[in-house]
Structure 1
Amino acid sequence: MIEVSDLSFSYDGINELNFPAFSCNKGGKLLLIGDSGSGKTTLLHLMCGLLRPLEGSITVSGQELGGMNDRKLDTFRGQELGIVFQQSHFVQSLTVEENLSLPSLLSKKPISSSELKKRTQELLDRLGVGHKSKSMPKDLSVGEQQRASIARALVHYPSVVFADEPSSALDDTSTASVIKLLEEETAKAGATLIIVTHDSRLKARYNDRVELESNTSSLNLV
């Protein structure tokens, strides 16, 4: 479960972003949608504990993030969260398959090497990049890197998955496949799915959504 209560944040100490209170139950799906500059990626980073708010509170999987120091936050992210960033952030000296094995090192659920290899390949296959498992990240297109990063976020069975613009570099067919995979894998694990996007193609798919506008935030839960 995720609970956000009256957050505010500022990068420069002058201009302040304010976000409404909202929540998403365990196993639920929530869309954060808004144009560029609306603060949606900032909100995602706050919910992941990558940024700290000026005011307000964030509770993720029963843990209040404000009560954790940086080391505990790092461990919490590694064990509980799967994050799909806009930039892939792969270790360039490792293959795609090796990059996908990294989250399992912090997983609370032990994963054998054979199970990890099987799961990694299955996720990559379902995302249409299974043939790239032995490739280096630099040899993947932007869209292929994005799909591989989605597999990396899911491989260790996280309790919450945050996806920042997962469809931005994808056509309609690939978008449908990626969103279906995110929904199926999170449902299988009973995990919560939070998607951050400006992609209006996804809006009709989710009844529960937070709609953000520049310098203002509105809550739309249908």
Structure 2
Amino acid sequence: MPELDGKTVIISGGARGMGASHARLFVERGARVVMTDRLVEDGNSLAEELGDAAIFVEADVTSAQDWRRAVERAEEEFGAVDVLVNNAGILVTHRLETATEADFRRTLEVNQLGVFLGMQAVVPAMRRAGRGSIVNIGSTAGMVGFPDCFAYVATKWAIRGMTKAAAAELAPYGIRVNAVHPGDVETPMTADIRASGELTTDGIPLGRFGVPREVSMAVLHLASDDSSYTTGADVVVDGAYTAI
């Protein structure tokens, strides 16, 4: 069973949804967790729930300064940073013809630039520690092409390439970089789409949506030493949607 005893973990977008699920599981498995998000009330509430093993830092993933501050706070509170989970993301539905430049830029800033800035911010700390695991949260939208979410698909494909490039570059320093690609999961981000009927279980061989903890278990494995020879990998958690 993967354990994270004594490891310091930073989770972006950690205040609710999948990020909160990661935080709960990681604390359960012995980690000390720093959750970052713009949702201050939710973040503080979760930190209070998790107790001394977790703190919340208000941060915008598109800000390099906020990332540096989060890493500094993690080192001050818990010591060397062992794990980064780049979880923050947004989904704006639109077709290629109707997407606005503002929508496209904002999606790139959060989903792609945010991942880049997060990796860049933790690498010096991980190099000092001589180890590290970075887990980037992608999507099945980064494995195949989906209509109606053009910018989102673009960013999730980009995460795959960034993950592999970083894995090759950082391996000599003992830093592993992998990506987890969830399918349709019951989170606040997908709630409106599921409620509208646009998102259904049609085409999912397991016949249901996933739940956040099922994704968190895959993230946990990649964050732990149990995956010590795994880097540059794409791990898909989608009920076999992309297998057919």
Give the TM-score band, short-chain normalised. Answer: 0.3 to 0.5
When normalised by structure 2's length, the TM-score is 0.33
Greater relative contact order (CA < 8 Å, ≥ 6 in sequence): 1
When normalised by structure 1's length, the TM-score is 0.35
Q: Per residue, is there more strand in 1 or in 2?
A: 1
